[in-house]
Structure 1
Amino acid sequence: MRIAACLLLALTCPPVAAHDMKQHSQDAAGTRIVASAGAPVEQLVLPDIPVTDKEGATAGFVGRLAQVGPVLIGFSYTGCVSLCPITHAILADVDQGMRGSKTPPLTIVTLSIDPANDTPERLAATARELDASPRWQWLVASPADTPALLSALGVASGPIESHDPVFLLGDMASGEFRRIVGLPDPRELLRLAGAMH
């Protein structure tokens, strides 16, 4: 499974200008797993801050996603070599899990936390590496707007090397989201997404 391989890689390779896995550790394996089923629903008030996708098209964050139904948002940056590949692997497994199945539609969003370096071209290259489907959007706000967008999403905008793995599963139209901190099982994310319909 993609997650196991990435987790092994992250735990055996020393981080270079990237996350220190010990910052996230609460167990001997070096990861923190939170049961997503127990994540409470929160109400988020999100600003319609302009974000640019991997094709270079800019639109409001809320407006672009308000009509798509359930969304799963992850946070990363393309220059990360330790924790973000695991986040990407989880989202890739969710993406793969929806191919050719009767799983209800879910839009996956990767929001960059490194707007100074994550150009549309870099986002597109990472999406290609992961064989991301069209349902997986790769977005970045401007350096000036990113802190406000992350704050509205309840994600710290501190040093990019020390952010926790966070996923938000919910609906832009209602603003209701489940916050999952840690490394959830992609099958559980799909189950929760299916329960939203």
Structure 2
Amino acid sequence: MSGSWRFLLVLSLFAASIPFWPLQPQQPVADEAATPWGADYFPNIPLLTQDGEKVHFFDDLIKDKVVAINFIFTGCSDSCPVETARLRQVQKILGDRVGKDIFLYSISIDPYNDTPATLKRYAEKFGIGPGWTLLTGEPADIEQLRRSLGLYIDGLENGRSKDHNLSLIIGNQATGRWMKASPFESPYILADRLGNSLHNWKQASAMANDYAQAPEVRAPSSGEQLFRTRCSSCHTLGNAEPGQPGIGPDLLGVTRQRDANWLTRWLKEPDQMLAQKDPLAMLLYEQYNRVAMPNMRLGDAEVSALMSYMEEETARLQTPLADKGNP
């Protein structure tokens, strides 16, 4: 994607958690006969899955289902891998509910290049499990679908550029409740919306909330905010689950293990380092299933803040362990 990625990121974060109804009904409704978000609204376009199966968008993918839908293309080197890695975390949290009462769909905006076979390789690279379908189709059909979902930006997308709206659409077609969400949102929040609120939106929570028992919330630093939104889709920082490798390596101690100049450049321009076949960059690329580190368009101040946060967390988590080892 081009330099407008930063604008689209801001736009998607602004759109996070904003309820979205294309025609603004007066009240949510509970049955298909009353909801405007039925077969007459959604284009029932034909699509092909990564396995080459022909499906129709409304009849086969979303009718009476709780779903999350985003648009990607496999040649994307910045935002799409981060979106995919984040949804992979959501899928892991939801477990075997994905494919049963929750369904995930990633639809290519580059159908000329993203054939079913290409999408299948992409799914295998990211370890995408059952219940998450990758799809391609005719360009005009996909544009029509994006417009109906509110994920097409007039004036920005002209067919030559691969810039696109960085938002998820999540919803329950049977109830007519749809909303936009940021793909950079916490995976636990996204999983809760898909697994709970979209299923039981009319039922009040049985949990009693008491401010007196609420934990004290620490304001995150700018570096921690960057890590949460840009890095945590693919990386952990000292809490990797045994037997559950991430898309990329755990970063605890990375500021002490890597040369500072190398790490700074890697955070700023990993695509150029891979193109130049930097030895360490190529080693990481091969070690982690040939998933390229995306260029997150970080500036000097952002890189500095991110490195400071990783060093602070390394000191916080490693120092107590070192102390325990001393007599």
Length-normalised TM-score, structure 2:
0.48
Kept in 2: contact 1:74–1:109 (CA 8 A): yes
Kept in 2: contact 1:19–1:83 (CA 8 A): no
What 5-or-longer segments of structure 2 have no aligned partner? 23-36, 200-327
Counterpart position of 1:180: 181
Counterpart secondary structure, 2:21: strand
- In structure 2, how many angstroms separate the alpha carbons of the residues matched to 1:35 and 1:162? 17
Indicate whether 1:57 and 2:53 are aligned.
yes
Q: Which runs of 4+ in 1 moved over 2 A?
A: 18-26, 31-36, 66-69, 99-102, 171-176
CA deviations 1:69-98 (Å, max 9, x no partner) are 210111100000111011111111111112
> Which residues in structure 2 correspond to 1:1-197 (within 5 Å)?
18-20=1-3, 21-26=5-10, 33-34=13-14, 36=16, 38-43=17-22, 44=37, 45-67=41-63, 69-99=65-95, 105-156=101-152, 158=157, 159=159, 160-181=161-182, 183-193=184-194, 194-197=196-199
Following TM superposition, by how much is the alpha carbon of 1:181 offset from its aligned partner in structure 2, in angstroms? 4.2
Name the structure, 1 or 2, with higher relative contact order (CA <8 Å, separation 6+): 1
Larger radius of gyration: 2
Q: Aligned in 2, Cα 1:143/1:33: closer, same or farther, shift over 3 Å?
A: closer
CA deviations 1:136-186 (Å, max 9, x no partner) are 011112123121111111111615532131100102344431112462111
Q: Aligned in 2, Cα 1:101/1:171: closer, same or farther, shift over 3 Å?
A: closer
- In structure 1, how many angstroms separate the alpha carbons of the residues matched to 2:162 and 2:76? 8
What 5-or-longer segments of structure 1 have no aligned partner? 1-17
Which structure has the highest helix share of the two? 2
Length-normalised TM-score, structure 1:
0.77
Q: CA RMSD in A?
A: 2.5
CA deviations 1:99-148 (Å, max 9, x no partner) are 2689x832111011111111001110111111111110111121231211
CA deviations 1:16-59 (Å, max 9, x no partner) are xx243323354xxxx963484x4214155211000110000112
Percentage identity across aligned positions?
A: 26
Q: Aligned in 2, Cα 1:68/1:108: closer, same or farther, shift over 3 Å?
A: farther
